[in-house]
């Protein structure tokens, strides 16, 4: 299944384009405006590139680059000019788009946020990265959960960001909430190449879910992002892969949410998303529906703790030049929280 990259589109197909966008340098408001215009232009390229495309996906950091700057002057908001420009581009080109912004947060560090906008310019999905790539990234941990929406052609669509995909619980949550296609946008650089590939495949196979994944591409003079646009079918098979690292290349494929739905209903062996909650259903009616996983029980109870917890070296961002935080999650100062 691929339809020659979406050139041949079936009635039930969804054609996805993954933009291996050139990694920018953005330090000023003028830089931000110029990069916004560049992304808008690439939306137009995506439409011209493939008339059948339903959804164009830009990587994490496509607007801000990899500087990790938290300068308020270049942070974005949902009602700001950058998002307005993305909405207009989706309308003009009659296409859905997935975009990345660093979102101003008046109560703390900025959020690393992802947006999906439909072809009428309506914001359909708004997600804040749950797992920043610590200790390197300074972003506030997300607080919106993982939304799942009705995407193009009625597919069930979710979005996670970069490091999120290294946690199997993230993809499982997407699938548990009904996602048939999970987008993963990233700014990863070359040292993560192999783990990027096998986690994209595992996230798909373990959940009978298509994953569509893309990183920034090229060099900004300091960092080298790898592109690696990668679309994986629900059985873990790679159906499109940008292995050349060519900047601004758009990796495309047709995917079939209807076959995801069919597999989830009809598969016996390896229907893992179902079998997780129905252990051993051959032996006991309906299977065991308990929760035998200590880490899940402890996290819910607020007592998650590793056996080697005290020996962990990196527990804040000071090694990467960030000051130690002074508040707990939710805003309470550390001294007050300890009382």
- Per residue in 22-78, pLDDT (tens digit) is 999 999 999 999 999 999 999 999 999 999 999 999 999 999 999 999 999 999 999
**pTM assigned to the model:** 0.96
**CB proximity list for 183: less than 8 A, separation 6 or greater:** 57, 98, 114, 116, 157, 158, 159, 160, 211, 212, 213
pLDDT the model gives residue 332: 76
332 assigned to active site:
no
162 assigned to active site:
yes
Closest CA to 6 of 247, 213, 255: 255
**Looking at 98, 155, 162, 215, which residue is catalytic?**
162
60 assigned to active site:
yes
Whole-angstrom Cα distance, residue 217 to residue 20? 5
β partners of residue 157: 149, 181
Query: How far apart, in Å, are the Cα atoms of 70 and each of 41, 65, 169?
Result: 26, 12, 28
User: For residue 338, with 0-12 CB atoms within 10 Å meaning exposed, 13-18 middle and 19 or more buried, which class applies?
Assistant: exposed
> Using one digit for the tens of pLDDT, what is the confidence trace for 189-200?
999 999 999 999
Residue 199 DSSP class: H
SS3 229: coil
**Looking at 9, 82, 87, 129, which residue is catalytic?**
129
Closest CA to 212 of 247, 174, 177: 174
**Looking at 9, 60, 155, 217, which residue is catalytic?**
60
Residue 187 DSSP class: -
**Residue 35 corresponds to which tokens in the numbers above?**
């990069």
Question: Domains in the chain, start-ordered, CATH in brackets?
Answer: 3-269 (3.60.110.10), 294-338 (no CATH)
pLDDT the model gives residue 11: 94
**Residue 211 corresponds to which tokens in the numbers above?**
């994953």
> Using one digit for the tens of pLDDT, what is the confidence trace for 96-150?
999 999 999 999 999 999 999 999 999 999 999 999 999 999 999 999 999 999 9
DSSP string, 20-68: -PBPPB--SHHHHHHHHHHHHHHHHHHHHH-TT--EEEPPTTTTTBTS-
């Amino acid at each position: 299944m691929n339809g020659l990259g979406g050139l041949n589109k079936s009635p039930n197909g969804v054609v996805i384009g993954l933009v291996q966008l050139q990694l920018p340098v953005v330090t000023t408001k003028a830089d931000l405006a110029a990069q916004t215009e560049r992304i808008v232009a690439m939306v137009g390229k995506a439409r011209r590139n493939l008339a059948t495309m339903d959804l164009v996906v830009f990587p994490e950091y496509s607007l801000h680059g990899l500087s990790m700057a938290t300068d308020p002057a270049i942070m974005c908001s949902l009602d700001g000019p950058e998002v307005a420009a993305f909405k207009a581009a989706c309308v003009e080109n009659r296409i859905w788009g997935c975009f990345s912004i660093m979102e101003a947060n008046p109560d703390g560090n900025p959020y690393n946020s992802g947006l999906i906008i439909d072809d009428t310019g309506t914001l359909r999905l708004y997600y804040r990265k749950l797992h920043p790539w610590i200790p390197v990234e300074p972003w506030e941990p997300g607080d919106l959960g993982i939304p799942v929406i009705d995407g193009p052609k009625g597919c069930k669509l979710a979005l996670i960001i970069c490091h999120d995909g290294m946690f199997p619980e993230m993809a499982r949550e997407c699938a548990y909430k009904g996602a048939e296609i999970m987008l993963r946008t990233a700014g990863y650089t070359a040292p993560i190449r192999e783990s990027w590939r096998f986690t994209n495949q595992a996230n798909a196979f373990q959940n009978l879910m298509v994953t569509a994944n893309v990183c920034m591409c090229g060099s900004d003079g300091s960092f080298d992002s790898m592109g690696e646009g990668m679309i994986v079918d629900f059985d873990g098979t790679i159906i499109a892969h940008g292995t050349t690292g060519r900047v601004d290349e758009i990796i495309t494929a047709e995917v079939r949410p209807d076959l995801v739905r069919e597999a989830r209903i009809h598969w016996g062996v390896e229907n893992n998303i179902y079998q997780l909650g129905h252990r051993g259903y051959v032996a006991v009616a309906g299977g065991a529906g308990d929760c035998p996983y200590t880490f899940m029980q402890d996290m819910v109870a607020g007592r998650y703790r590793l056996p080697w917890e005290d020996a962990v070296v990196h527990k804040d961002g000071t090694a990467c030049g960030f000051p130690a935080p002074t508040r707990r999650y939710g805003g309470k100062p550390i001294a007050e929280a300890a009382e």
